Structure 1
């Protein structure tokens, strides 16, 4: 149940509690008779005070307390009803028959089925007093039934109305929360789209001078450095496209995109992956795959790429037959190392996902 619905139901509990207290003190107290009446009245007052301990703090009455209180209310009502002569039931002197039902609502408002059963049982005890007494004419019995059912119907309608209002409030709160979630998802999607447009624009801006140089023949495509620049630009664009894909494992998808383009250039690439996918921020994935792109572009014929994932660390490494790049730490979130291994180079980009 939503917090709003809880607050509404808590307010209803307090309203029923206050109404019951007013009825007991203002309407029932002046009609007390003998000692049995006073004992029953005191028992109902104790139940109301005990229930108020939770209700006034916006909490439902605990299950054991509610059950024990309901049993005491039914017993007190039976004592008061059976102390009256049958011809005075549900009349001016019968304060308990109607009051006990309100006490049951205070105790069992959060358990509507049980509350309804308790209300019916309480009114049945009153009818039993009439039926178990000396015979009465049909008119008296009919009048008793009509009055009793009127009291029961009003209390049951109050219970049903409170539950309907609470359910409607809960549905409205859930609908509002869903609208908020949709608005949040839309804002995130728009932010992601704007970031992608910015990234594409930046990448194209960096690529245009290369394309312009090739077009006006100031750059020679036979030059190894120019070819590496072209390969790097193509790999960056390919990885950028992969970043926008909706896949279960974004890091592996982007690494695979880099590997795929290297293979298209004629490199022999092996890819090893260990560990389960883990959520990685987009910016961190870019820093993990950036050095990999540099390593693959520098490779001459072969490369071994590995992705290692543990509970608190993500590593992307590559061993190639190309020259090592420069050691850098990116934004500080990812540590990058390059080392020469004879005629090969080793690169590793590492991000710690746990506490540093």
Structure 2
């Protein structure tokens, strides 16, 4: 599958922009928090300063991570726990008449800090953590008061803004993230379809070329046999037919799904020779990658031709070692070296040795070239 980089890049940019926007809002809320302006109303002061300092540090860490485009990762859960702990410290140390007032800075700030830490997370997690933050304040009211009707109504009114705005931002962020992910998935699916179409076109073109080669090689022989120009009793004609049959088997074998395509194609040629009564021994030695299609054809062409000239016995060795892949073929009869077809591919070399009783051929491909 081919993934279009533009789709992933656009999605990452959108999510990064959403994260930056939420962080900017949180920084603005922290900068406008009432604590620095109302230090004198808090007794004791240290819980408020400690909680405010913790959230400021978390915001600074987020700015660093955002600049480096890195997530919180495994530190997200500890940071969320520390944020809720700081919120509880600030809320539970407030005097009763300051709860849900302008002095209660943590009630309006903690939700945005949580939203920053939950950037990129699902909406369920955002709602759960914001609910936990609201529970901290509600439990404080139930336990320490005040809990009269007027105060409860004021608390609910204040909660609409302090909790509602982060919730709305979290919903918008989650929706936009889902849209981005769906757009990315749709883009990948489209790229996958285009890839499949391209592969199908390449396979069709390869098959068309393969059948074209078979047609060009076989048709003249069949026509000559039909009109009597060639006689099947001629040994040379039989060898030519056998070579073309082995070649056809090799071309058809190129589409087979096998671990070692070269050895598989050589086995097809050996099978044709064995049908003629030739004992063929095939031995692969070592290891090698599947050669490209043109290289595989160049490695198999001369061995196939030589097998068609074997009388009673032949041996094939495929050796892969030291960055080389070699095909050795020995047959039990002599042939003229100049008659052996030469590979017409750079990087593939061939040697032929013959005597009065046998012929040996080596076709060599340098894998690393």
Scaled by the length of structure 2, the TM-score of the pair is 0.81
Residue 43 (structure 1) shift? 4.8
Question: Any gaps of 5 or more consecutive residues in structure 2?
Answer: 1-6
Residue 145 (structure 1) shift? 5.0
Q: Is the Cα contact below 8 Å between 2:288 and 2:321 reproduced in 1?
A: no
Q: Is the Cα contact below 8 Å between 2:35 and 2:105 reproduced in 1?
A: no
Residue 45 (structure 1) shift? 3.6
Q: Is the Cα contact below 8 Å between 2:287 and 2:319 reproduced in 1?
A: no
Equivalent-residue separation in structure 2 for 1:134 and 1:140 (angstroms): 9
Is 1:15 the counterpart of 2:21 in the alignment? yes
Q: Is the Cα contact below 8 Å between 2:286 and 2:319 reproduced in 1?
A: yes
Which residue in 2 is equivalent to 1:316?
A: 327
Q: Is the Cα contact below 8 Å between 1:292 and 1:318 reproduced in 2?
A: yes
Residue 299 (structure 1) shift? 1.1
Question: Where do 1:333-348 residues align within 5 Å?
Answer: 333-340=347-354, 343-348=357-362
Q: Is the Cα contact below 8 Å between 1:295 and 1:322 reproduced in 2?
A: no
Equivalent position SS for 1:123: helix
Which residue in 2 is equivalent to 1:32?
A: 37
Which residue in 2 is equivalent to 1:349?
A: 363
Equivalent-residue separation in structure 1 for 2:353 and 2:15 (angstroms): 67
Equivalent position SS for 2:22: helix
Equivalent-residue separation in structure 1 for 2:313 and 2:79 (angstroms): 81
Residue 69 (structure 1) shift? 5.0
Question: Any gaps of 5 or more consecutive residues in structure 1?
Answer: none
Which residue in 2 is equivalent to 1:247?
A: 258
| Cα-Cα RMSD | 3.3
Question: Where do 1:293-332 residues align within 5 Å?
Answer: 293-310=304-321, 312-324=323-335, 325-326=337-338, 328-332=342-346
Residue 241 of structure 2: which of 230, 245, 253 is its match? 230
Q: Is the Cα contact below 8 Å between 1:55 and 1:61 reproduced in 2?
A: no
Is 1:97 the counterpart of 2:107 in the alignment? yes
Equivalent-residue separation in structure 2 for 1:3 and 1:329 (angstroms): 46
Q: 1:88 to 1:135 in 2, by over 3 A?
A: closer
Residue 352 (structure 1) shift? 3.0
Residue 15 (structure 1) shift? 0.9
Question: Where do 1:184-223 residues align within 5 Å?
Answer: 184-223=195-234
After TM superposition, the runs of 4+ consecutive aligned structure 1 residues lying more than 6 A away are: none
Equivalent position SS for 2:231: coil
Q: Is the Cα contact below 8 Å between 1:14 and 1:56 reproduced in 2?
A: no
Residue 186 of structure 2: which of 175, 183, 190 is its match? 175
Residue 106 of structure 1: which of 108, 112, 116 is its match? 116
Cα deviation 1:92-114 (Å, max 9, x = unaligned): 44332121211122123245577
Cα deviation 1:250-285 (Å, max 9, x = unaligned): 222211111111122232222223446732211111
Cα deviation 1:32-72 (Å, max 9, x = unaligned): 311546665555444323321221343323544x5665465
